[in-house]
Amino acid sequence: MELIKIDTPYITLGQFLKRLNVISSGGQAKFFLQEEIVRINGEVETRRGRKVYPQDQVEISGLGIVMVVSE
């Protein structure tokens, strides 16, 4: 399991995907989420603005599980 550290209370799913280098711009998040299955804490998510908090587990098809932790 990979860990992503954030120094804010939350990060949006679009920013999270950019930080993982899954997409190169925020505009691509919408299209990525339409084509790929992304689960946050086991629930399928399609909103790029969804807030991801520390201790949330994000599962991306083809990449595995990434956990958000606070610094």
- Give the pLDDT confidence of 13-26 residue by residue, as tens digits: 999 999 999 999 88
| pLDDT confidence of residue 8 | 96
Give φ, ψ of 14 to 5 degrees: -60, -45
Q: What's residue 58's pLDDT?
A: 97
pLDDT above 90 (res 9)? yes
Task: In whole angstroms, give the CA distance from residue 17 to residue 4.
Answer: 11
Please give the pLDDT value at position 62.
Answer: 86
pLDDT tens for 23-43 read 998 889 999 999 999 999 999
70 Cβ contact partners less than 8 Å away, ≥ 6 residues apart: 5, 6, 7, 54
Judge whether residue 1 has pLDDT over 90. no
